[in-house]
């Protein structure tokens, strides 16, 4: 972890890194509309933390030292990821959701603070809450996805985003990480659509005499 902020000399990359975080806005609006303000607030926290981190990384604005900005970015990202993923199969049971979230996030937080390698931290932060959600879904015999096309879109966006961040050359960091923001943050939007049960309105049939 770099001890201080640094400037890599590319204004366009910096602006893209900061403003690409608006890709979270569709998910925030959707969560607000379906009555899930907690998830929406967590995504807002992630949006702000990520923007501040990249501003500090460029040397434009640091509220505290760079290392802590980076750690806060990690924490906010995995806070949202573990909350959203453990929400997957526990909808309708808030206490179970909170319990699953605490387990997943506590272990991920410990790994982040301990300085675990980014790749392994991603495996833990995404894999653990996914396993918890899938296990609960199997035990409770609940569906994971309610809309298959949107579920497929989620996996496609997430895979493309992952490829951007893990396989792009280091000197492409600014553009690759910005595109990772866009693809992964849009995948949150499609994920919410895919995992939210569709409420069907009951229409009262008129009896014709």
Q: Where does the pLDDT of residue 202 fall: very low under 50, low under 70, confident under 90, or very high at 90 and above?
A: very low
DSSP the chain: --SS----S-HHHHHHHHHGGGGGHHHHHHHHHTT-HHHHHHHHHHHHHHHHHHHHHTTS--SS-HHHHHHHHHHHHHHHHHHHHHTTTTTT-HHHHHHHHHHHHHHHHHHHHTT--HHHHHHHHHHHHHHHHHHHHHHHT--S-S-HHHHHHHHHHHHHHHHHHHHS-GGGHHHHHHHHHHHHHHHHHHHHHHHSPPPPPPPPPPPP-
| Residue 199: predicted pLDDT | 67
pLDDT over 70 at 203, yes or no:
no
Following DSSP, what letter does each residue of 42-72 receive, concatenated? HHHHHHHHHHHHHHHHTTS--SS-HHHHHHH
Domain ranges of the chain: 11-195
Model's pTM, two decimal places?
A: 0.84
Q: Given this model, what pLDDT does residue 207 score?
A: 42
When pLDDT is cut at 50, 70 and 90, the band that residue 6 belongs to is low
Q: What is the pLDDT of residue 41?
A: 95
Structure confidence at residue 113 (pLDDT): 87
The per-residue pLDDT for range 154-190, each reduced to its tens digit, is 999 999 988 888 887 877 878 888 999 999 999 999 9
């Amino acid at each position: 972890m770099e001890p201080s902020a640094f400037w890599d000399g590319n204004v366009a990359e910096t602006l893209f890194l900061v403003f690409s975080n608006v890709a979270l806005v569709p998910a925030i609006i959707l969560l607000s509309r379906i009555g899930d303000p907690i998830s929406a607030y967590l995504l807002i926290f992630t949006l702000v933390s990520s923007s501040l981190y990249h501003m500090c990384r460029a040397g434009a604005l640091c509220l505290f030292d760079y290392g802590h900005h980076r750690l806060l970015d990690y924490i906010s990202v995995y806070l949202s990821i573990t909350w959203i993923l453990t929400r997957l199969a526990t909808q309708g049971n808030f206490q179970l959701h909170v319990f699953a979230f605490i387990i997943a996030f506590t272990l991920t937080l410990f790994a982040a603070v301990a300085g675990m390698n980014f790749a392994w931290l991603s495996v833990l932060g995404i894999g653990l809450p996914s396993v918890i959600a899938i296990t609960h879904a199997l035990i409770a015999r609940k569906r994971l996805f309610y809309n298959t096309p949107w579920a497929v879109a989620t996996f496609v966006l997430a895979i493309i985003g992952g490829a951007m961040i893990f396989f792009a050359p280091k000197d492409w960091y600014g553009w690759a990480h910005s595109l990772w923001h866009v693809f992964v943050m849009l995948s949150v939007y499609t994920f919410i659509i895919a995992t939210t049960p569709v409420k069907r309105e009951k229409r009262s049939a008129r009896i014709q005499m």
